[in-house]
Structures are given as C-alpha cells and as structure tokens.
Amino acid sequence: METLKKAIKESGLAAICASAFCLFATALFAVFVRAYAPSEVTIAVVDRVILAAGVFLFSFVFVHRERALFKGAGAGALSFLLTVVIFGCIGGFHFSAMLLADLLLCALFGGLGALLGVKLRKE
C-alpha cells in the first residue's frame, strides 16, 4: 500500500508540473505566434514538442526506482489529460484523431524520461 501511495505521488507530481510547464511554455509561444504568424503546421509541431518535452523532463526528475516505466507512462498520460482539460476550458474543446496519438506520445515520453532518470541517478 505504501508503494502505491508513493507511485501515485510521484506520477501525480510529475503530471502536475508537466501540465504547468506546458501552460507556461505555450503562453510564451503564443507571444511568438502573435508577432511572427507561423503556419498552422509549425504551431501544431511546436505544441507537441512542448508537451513531450515537459512530460519527459518532469518524469525524469520526479519518478524514482521500481516500475519507473509504468509510473512515467502514467504521468505522461495524466499530464496529457490535464493539459487537454485545461486548454479545453480556456479555448473550447476540439476533438480530433490526433488526440489518441498525442496521448500515446506523452505516455511514451513519460516512460522514457522516467527510465532514463532512474538509470542516470545513483539510488
């Protein structure tokens, strides 16, 4: 039971921090979009890079020890869902076929970040 609480704490903390990072980085990118008006493809790619980088970074930092792949993947999926809900509340919900691909991308990057973090740390 203690292990489950620890896993939920690590994954939740990584997800919340990654979502906050995405909000902040996307707000900064919106200033750039307003000034330079890049194409829609560029905006979509940068949004996915911001999301994947945030999930990878915060899974790397907050997930520790056993079952890191699963905790990181859970953190990535939870972060994606939090981010979609927050952006949906701000700008309206827009569902597309890419949502599933984005969810899988975040889970993958969360798991990879957690695995790399565990391997590089001397715990």
Domain count, the chain: 1
Q: Mean pLDDT for each 10-residue chunk of the chain (123 residues)?
A: 88 96 94 90 93 96 92 96 90 83 96 95 73
DSSP symbols for 42-86:
HHHHHHHHHHHHHHHHHHHHH--STTHHHHHHHHHHHHHHHHHHH
Q: Range of 13's domain? A: 2-120
Query: What pTM was computed for the model?
Result: 0.90
pLDDT at site 123? 61
- Identify the pLDDT of residue 65: 84
Give the Cα separation of 54 and 76 in Å (integer): 9
